[in-house]
Amino acid sequence: MPKKRENGEGTVYFDKSRNKYCAEIYDQEGNRLKDRFNTREEAKAWLDELKAQFKRNEYVIPNDITLSQWIIKWLKTYKTEIRAKTKLQYLWAFAHIEPIANMPLQDKNAHVIVQEFLNSLVDKLAPNSRWKVYQLIEAAVKKANQLQLVSKNFMELVEAPKREQADIEIFTTSEMSAIFTYLRAPNTPPVLARHYQLMMLLATTGARPGEILALKWKNVNFSAEKIKIETTILALPKVGIVEAPPKTKAGIREITIPVQMCEILKTLRGSGKIMYMCRPDDYVFHTARGTAFFPSNIRRDWKKILAGACVEYKSLKTWRHTHATQLLAKGVPLLEVSKRLGHSKPSHTLNLYGHAIPDFDKDIALKVAEIYGIAI
C-alpha cells in the first residue's frame, strides 16, 4: 500500500489482487477518493481531472441526488416565501419534468439530457409554457451549483426556449366610448351595469385587475385624490380567492386619480344599498355578501359587456395597456408611467410600451438650434 501523500497530490498504483490500476487522492477536506481502472492511462486521466477540479475550485463531493429530488428540496427550503401564484407555476412546471426526473444531478451529460428534453416539448407545450419548465430547472440548478452539489451550472450550456411576446392591444376612443355607454344604458342588465365603476377605475389608473379587485375603502384617499395598492386578488385551485402582495415591492404604490373618479367612488360608497358596504376594511367592489369577486366571474361578465357594446374581445389587461400607451403618447415621462404601473424597472415599461413614445427628435434639433443661435 502506497504511503499517504499530501492532500491534492494523488497516486496511481497497480493492485495485483484485483488486477486493476488504482488511482487515489485526498480532497481539500482530507477525504480519500479512490477508483480502479483497466489501464494506467485511465487512472492517471481520472486523477488529473480531479486535480484540475481542485485547482479551479470546482470539485464537489459525489452524491446520488436526482433532479426531481433536488427541485423538491429547493422548493421546500429556499422558496417558502414566494407568491402563491408563483408556487403554482413551479408545481405545474415540475409536473412536466417527469421524463428526466430521475436524472442524476451530477450526470456528466446533464446539459445534453436537459436540452434534448426541452427540444422534445416543442410539439407538446406552447413557447411560454416551455420557458416556465426551463426556468424551474435553471433556477434550481443554479442554487445547487452555489451549494456545491454540482461542479458547474450545466444549465449555462442549455439553450433557453424562445418566449412569445404577446402583441399589446389597446382600446380605440370609439371602443371605450361604446363600453361605457353600454354600461350606463338603462336596458343593460344590472349584473353587468354594476361593473361601470370598476371598469372606469381600471381605465383611469392602469392598475392590474387583481389589484383593483383587492382595493378596500381604507385604500381610497378622497382628499388626496389617490388610491393605494397594497395587495392583489388571486384565485387558487382548491383554496378559493386569497389576498397576496403585488409581484414586486414596486407594486405597492399610490396612484393619483382624476377628481371625476373620486366623485364616482363617493357616489358608489354613499349609494345606501346593502351590497355597497363602506367600512374601511370592506372591498370597494364586492359581491352581495361583501366578499371579493372571483377574477373568473369578472372575466365572464367582461365578455358579456364587450358583446353588448359590440366591441371585439380584448382582455381586461387592455385597460392597463391603453392607459400606459396614452400617457406615454401624451409625453408623460417614462419613469412616472413606470411607477404608476408598479413596474420594478423602467426598462420593462419601455420594452412593453416604447412604441408609444413620441418622436421628439425634430423638436430637440430645433431647441439645439435656438441654444447655439443657428438661423433656420
Q: What's residue 362's pLDDT?
A: 67
Cut 0.85: pTM above it: no
Q: What is the CATH number of the domain that holds 99?
A: 1.10.150
- Structure letter (DSSP) for residue 42: H
Same domain, 184 and 137: no
Same domain, 192 and 108: no
Q: What's residue 289's pLDDT?
A: 87
Sheet with 220-221, side-by-side order of all strands: 220-221, 226-229, 253-256
Dihedral, 195, 200, 203, 204 alpha carbons, nearest 10: -150
Q: What is the CATH number of the domain that holds 237?
A: 1.10.443.10
Q: Does a structural domain hold residue 2?
A: no
d(CA 251, CA 242): 17
Mapping DSSP to helix (H, G, I), strand (E, B) and coil, where does residue 365 land?
helix
Mapping DSSP to helix (H, G, I), strand (E, B) and coil, where does residue 234 land?
strand
Q: Does a structural domain hold residue 192?
A: yes
Same domain, 104 and 239: no
Same domain, 186 and 320: yes
Same domain, 86 and 215: no
Same domain, 190 and 219: yes
Same domain, 329 and 296: yes
**Closest to 284 in 3D by CA, of 301, 270, 303, 305:** 270
Same domain, 194 and 333: yes
Which residues 6+ apart lie within 8 Å of 187 measured at CB?
none
Same domain, 131 and 270: no
Q: Does a structural domain hold residue 1?
A: no
Q: Does a structural domain hold residue 363?
A: no
Mapping DSSP to helix (H, G, I), strand (E, B) and coil, where does residue 230 land?
coil
Contact 50, 10 (CB under 8 A): yes
Pairing of strands 226-229, 232-236: unpaired
The DSSP code sequence of 103-126 is -BTT-TTHHHHHHHHHHHTTTTS-
What are the distances in angstroms from CA 345 to CA 301, 337, 348, 352? 33, 11, 6, 12
Name the phi and psi angles at 370, rounded to 5.
-65, -40
Mapping DSSP to helix (H, G, I), strand (E, B) and coil, where does residue 187 land?
coil
Task: Provide the domain count of the chain.
Answer: 3
> Which domain does 38 fall in, by range?
11-55
Q: Does a structural domain hold residue 114?
A: yes
Q: Does a structural domain hold residue 179?
A: yes
Cell of 187: 336596458
Q: What's residue 56's pLDDT?
A: 75
Cβ count near 147 (within 10 Å): 13
Same domain, 136 and 42: no
Same domain, 23 and 75: no
Q: What's residue 65's pLDDT?
A: 94
Same domain, 329 and 235: yes
Q: Does a structural domain hold residue 60?
A: no
Q: Does a structural domain hold residue 372?
A: no
Q: Quickly list H helices, 147-172.
A: none
What does each of the 376 residues of the chain score in pLDDT, given as a tens digit? 444 455 557 889 998 888 999 998 887 777 788 889 999 999 999 888 888 888 777 777 788 999 999 999 999 999 988 877 788 889 889 999 999 999 999 998 999 999 999 999 998 998 889 999 999 999 999 999 998 899 889 999 999 998 877 778 999 999 999 999 999 999 999 999 999 999 999 999 999 999 999 999 999 999 999 999 999 998 877 778 888 888 788 999 999 999 999 999 999 887 645 444 788 899 999 998 889 999 999 999 999 999 999 999 999 999 999 999 999 989 899 999 999 999 999 999 988 888 777 766 667 777 777 778 765 5
